[in-house]
């Protein structure tokens, strides 16, 4: 007997990873082609209790959220780069902002979002340029943050 969970649970159908947008302080800042680093992990402290040889106690320790990396085609909207420049310049005017990555379903409806709290850029890479190139000029920015919250729509 096979069970098709999509017939009984339409909300159990996975979303595609190709529909998303990025907002910084409530402004959609361009068409990003790739977002990576949406990851949180917890380290574990092991405790070996005397006289208990069958197992080791494991307790949660610190939580670590990884940096997030965004890729996009360079556009005329320069406010995004100004934010990067302020945070990575020698004056180090770190401007923390909330960054929201929102995923949409195939109809374009927002279905899930992640808010990166007090984010700021730590690395930027500009485009590779070729005299006879025809590809879109891409830039990359990596940012760190103080935590992740989810948004349900």
Q: Tell me the C-alpha distance between 135 and 138, whole Å.
A: 9
Stretch among 54-58, 88-92, 121-125 having the lowest mean pLDDT: 88-92
Give the three-class secondary structure for 82. helix
Pick from 111, 67, 109, 82: nearest CA to 24: 82
pLDDT over 90 at 76, yes or no = no
Residue (of 38, 7, 5) closest to 20 by Cα position: 38
Task: Say yes or no to pLDDT of 143 above 60.
Answer: yes
- 61 pLDDT tier (thresholds 50, 70, 90): very high
Residue 7's pLDDT is 60
Structure confidence at residue 95 (pLDDT): 85
Q: What integer is the mean pLDDT of 92-117?
A: 88
Q: Name which of 44-48, 112-116, 131-135, 146-150 the model is least confident about.
A: 131-135
- Nearest CA to 89 out of 122, 138, 128, 126 is that of 122
Q: What is the mean pLDDT of the chain?
A: 85
Residue 6: its pLDDT value, please?
Answer: 55
Q: What are phi and psi of 7, to 5 degrees?
A: -75, -35
Domains detected in the chain: 5-152 (2.30.110.20)
Report the distance separating Cα 93 and Cα 122, nearest Å: 12
Residue appearing with tokens 């080791």: 56
Instruction: Kindly report, residue by residue over 15-60, the tens digit of the pLDDT.
Output: 666 788 889 888 888 678 899 999 999 999 999 999 888 999 999 9
pTM higher than 0.75 for the full model?
Answer: yes
Tokens matching residue 10: 């339409």
How far, in Å, are 5, 23, 80, 100 from residue 27 at the CA level? 37, 5, 10, 10
* pLDDT for position 17: 65
Instruction: Please give the DSSP secondary-structure letter assigned to residue 98.
Output: E
pLDDT of 1 above 60: no
Q: What is the pLDDT of residue 62?
A: 92
């Amino acid at each position: 007997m096979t069970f098709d969970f999509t017939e009984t649970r339409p909300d159990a159908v996975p979303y595609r990873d190709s529909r998303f947008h990025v907002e910084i302080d409530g402004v959609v800042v361009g068409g990003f082609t790739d977002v990576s680093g949406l990851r949180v992990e917890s380290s574990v402290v092991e405790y070996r209790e005397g006289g208990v040889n069958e197992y080791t106690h494991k307790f949660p320790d610190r939580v670590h959220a990884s940096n997030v990396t965004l890729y996009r085609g360079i556009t005329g909207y320069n406010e995004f780069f100004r934010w990067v420049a302020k945070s990575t310049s020698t004056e180090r005017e770190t401007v923390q902002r909330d960054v929201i990555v929102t995923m949409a379903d195939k109809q374009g409806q927002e279905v899930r979002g992640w808010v990166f709290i007090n984010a700021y850029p730590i690395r930027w890479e500009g485009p590779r340029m070729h005299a006879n190139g025809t590809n879109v000029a891409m830039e990359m920015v990596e940012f760190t943050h103080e935590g992740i919250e989810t948004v349900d729509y």
